[in-house]
Structure 1
Amino acid sequence: MVRHNTMAAPRRRGWSLASEFAVAGGGVMLLAMLAVGLWVTGRIEEAVVRNTANATALYMESFISPISQDLAVSPVLSPGARRALNEIFTNTPLGERVASYKIWKQDGLVVDASDPAMVGRRFELTEDLRLALQGEVRADFNALGDPEDASERALGLPLLEIYSPIREVWSGRVIGVAEFYEIASGLERDLAVARRNSWATVALVMALIGASLHAIVLRGSRTIDRQLADLVRLSEHNTALRLRVQQAVSRFTEMNDQALRRIGADLHDGPAQLMAFAALRIDALRTAMPSPEAEAEIDAVERAVKDAMIEIRNISRGLSLPDIDRRSLDRLVRDVASAHAARTGTSVEVTVSGAADPPELSPAVRICVYRFAQEALTNAWRHAGGVGQEVRLSLEGPLLRLAVLDRGPGPAAEGGSGDGMGLAGLRDRVESLGGSFERTSRPVGGTCLKMTLDVKGTT
Structure 2
Amino acid sequence: MKANIRSWNDLSLAAQFAVAGGVIMILSMVLIGRIVAARIEDGVVRNTALATSQYMDSIISPLSQDMADVDTLPPGAHRALDEIFSNTPLGERVVSFKLWTPEGRVVHATDPIIVGETFQITDNLAAAVKGEVRADFEDLSDEEDQGENALGLPLLEIYSPVREVWSGKVIGVAEFYEVATQLKRDLAAAKRNSWMAVALTFMSIGGILYLIVLRGSRIIDRQRDALTAQLSELGALSAHNMTLRRRVQQAAARTSAMNDQALRRIGADLHDGPAQLLSFAALRLDNLRGQVKDTSELDGVERAVKDAIREVRSISKGLSLPDIDSRSAEQIVRGVAETHAARTGSPVDVTCELPPDTSLSQAVKICLYRFVQEGLNNAWRYAGGTGQEVRLSCADGILSLAVRDRGPGMVAGPGGLPEGGGDFSGIGLRGLRDRVESLGGTLTAGNRKDGPGAVISMELDMRSS
TM-score of the superposed pair, with normalisation by structure 1: 0.78
2:322 matches 1:313:
no
Q: Is 2:49–2:135's contact at 8 Å kept on the other side of the alignment?
A: no
Separation (CA, whole Å) in 1 of partners of 2:272 and 2:96: 132
Separation (CA, whole Å) in 2 of partners of 1:142 and 1:426: 99
1:234 Cα deviation after fit: 0.6
Closer/same/farther in 2, CA of residues 390 and 270 from structure 1, 3 Å limit? closer
Q: Is 1:272–1:312's contact at 8 Å kept on the other side of the alignment?
A: no
1:251 Cα deviation after fit: 1.6
Q: Is 1:53–1:137's contact at 8 Å kept on the other side of the alignment?
A: no
Separation (CA, whole Å) in 1 of partners of 2:270 and 2:195: 107
Separation (CA, whole Å) in 2 of partners of 1:379 and 1:327: 24
Aligned to 1:185: 184
* 2:450 aligned residue (405, 428, 444): 444
Q: Is 1:49–1:140's contact at 8 Å kept on the other side of the alignment?
A: no
Based on CA coordinates, which of the two structures has the bigger radius of gyration? 2
Closer/same/farther in 2, CA of residues 282 and 448 from structure 1, 3 Å limit? closer
Q: Is 1:389–1:406's contact at 8 Å kept on the other side of the alignment?
A: yes
String of CA shifts for 1:120-157, please: whole Å, max 9, x gaps. Answer: 44444444444444444444444444444444555555
Counterparts of 1:59-458 in structure 2 under 5 Å? 59-66=51-58, 67-68=60-61, 69-70=64-65, 71-82=67-78, 84-85=80-81, 91-93=87-89, 95-96=91-92, 98=94, 100-155=96-151, 158-182=154-178, 183=180, 184-186=183-185, 187-270=187-270, 273-285=273-285, 287=289, 288-289=291-292, 291=294, 293-295=296-298, 297-298=300-301, 300-302=303-305, 304-317=307-320, 320=321, 322-324=323-325, 326-344=326-344, 345-358=346-359, 362-379=361-378, 381=380, 385-387=385-387, 389-396=389-396, 399-404=397-402, 406=404, 408=406, 410=409, 414=417, 417-418=422-423, 419=425, 421-437=427-443, 443-445=449-451, 450-458=457-465
Aligned to 2:45: 53
Q: Is 1:132–1:177's contact at 8 Å kept on the other side of the alignment?
A: yes
1:237 Cα deviation after fit: 1.0
Closer/same/farther in 2, CA of residues 443 and 220 from structure 1, 3 Å limit? same
Separation (CA, whole Å) in 1 of partners of 2:33 and 2:363: 78
String of CA shifts for 1:334-371, please: whole Å, max 9, x gaps. Answer: 4444444444432232232434224xx55444444444
Separation (CA, whole Å) in 2 of partners of 1:407 and 1:122: 110
Closer/same/farther in 2, CA of residues 281 and 450 from structure 1, 3 Å limit? closer
Closer/same/farther in 2, CA of residues 393 and 58 from structure 1, 3 Å limit? same
Structure 1: state its 5+ residue gaps: 1-12
Structure 2: state its 5+ residue gaps: none
Q: Is 2:163–2:171's contact at 8 Å kept on the other side of the alignment?
A: yes
In terms of mean alpha carbon deviation, does 402-411 or 212-221 score higher? 402-411
String of CA shifts for 1:384-412, please: whole Å, max 9, x gaps. Answer: 5451514132243xx13313253635468
Q: Is 1:105–1:177's contact at 8 Å kept on the other side of the alignment?
A: yes
Separation (CA, whole Å) in 2 of partners of 1:431 and 1:101: 107
1:227 Cα deviation after fit: 0.8
Closer/same/farther in 2, CA of residues 244 and 48 from structure 1, 3 Å limit? same
String of CA shifts for 1:306-332, please: whole Å, max 9, x gaps. Answer: 453255225413xx46433x3344444
2:352 aligned counterpart, secondary structure: strand
Moved over 6 A (4+): none
Closer/same/farther in 2, CA of residues 349 and 96 from structure 1, 3 Å limit? farther
Q: Is 2:127–2:134's contact at 8 Å kept on the other side of the alignment?
A: yes
Separation (CA, whole Å) in 2 of partners of 1:303 and 1:433: 40
Q: Is 1:17–1:218's contact at 8 Å kept on the other side of the alignment?
A: no
Q: Is 2:379–2:404's contact at 8 Å kept on the other side of the alignment?
A: yes
Aligned to 1:9: none
Q: Is 2:249–2:440's contact at 8 Å kept on the other side of the alignment?
A: no
1:60 Cα deviation after fit: 1.5
Separation (CA, whole Å) in 1 of partners of 2:436 and 2:114: 103
Percent pairwise identity: 33
Separation (CA, whole Å) in 2 of partners of 1:441 and 1:39: 74
Separation (CA, whole Å) in 2 of partners of 1:455 and 1:42: 71
Closer/same/farther in 2, CA of residues 273 and 180 from structure 1, 3 Å limit? farther
Separation (CA, whole Å) in 2 of partners of 1:256 and 1:198: 82
